[in-house]
Amino acid sequence: MKKIALVVLSLLAVSVSADAQSNRGKNKKMVIKAKPVVRRDTVVAPVPAKWDSTMCFPLSADKDYHLYDYVIYLDDIRVIKRYKPFFDKHKYTFSGYVWEALLRDMLADADKEISTNTVIRSESNAVMINITKYQSIKKFPEYMCPILSNLTKVNEYLQKANRDKMPKY
């Protein structure tokens, strides 16, 4: 019985190798071109700047996590060139933690609806902002953009900021 099984297996192996050699010439002519697969969560082309031109500078869409309504990327060279001299002038560290405290001071003067529905989280190189009420999402940039685009107002907020509330890092 074992001998018969070995003979059948060897015959099958010979016939498979003969079929493969006879089809070798046919397979060379057949070329299958596949389209590249692009996942939705991957970036196809490198994006040179993180700032989204549809929003007011320096507010941007969350391109990294897609969790936040607005993000200020502090590693963007344009943000550094525009705001860092004011932070240096008033001897503040140019970090997300200081930006968070500054934004909280700015929001203290805002309408209660905006200030109570804004959640700010910071890292060393970014400030992430979430608006908890859908109706306030458009009100936040309407309030913040005139302040952030006016460097004298930013300078005034840095000048009058409570140094005890500002982090040193």
10-60 tens-digit pLDDT = 655 555 555 555 555 555 555 555 455 554 544 443 344 555 556 788 999
d(CA 70, CA 156): 23
Give the global pTM: 0.67
For residue 130, what is the DSSP state? Answer: E
Residue 116 tokens read as: 């109570």
For the segment 71-92, the average pLDDT, to the nearest whole number, is 95
Residue 156 tokens read as: 């005034």
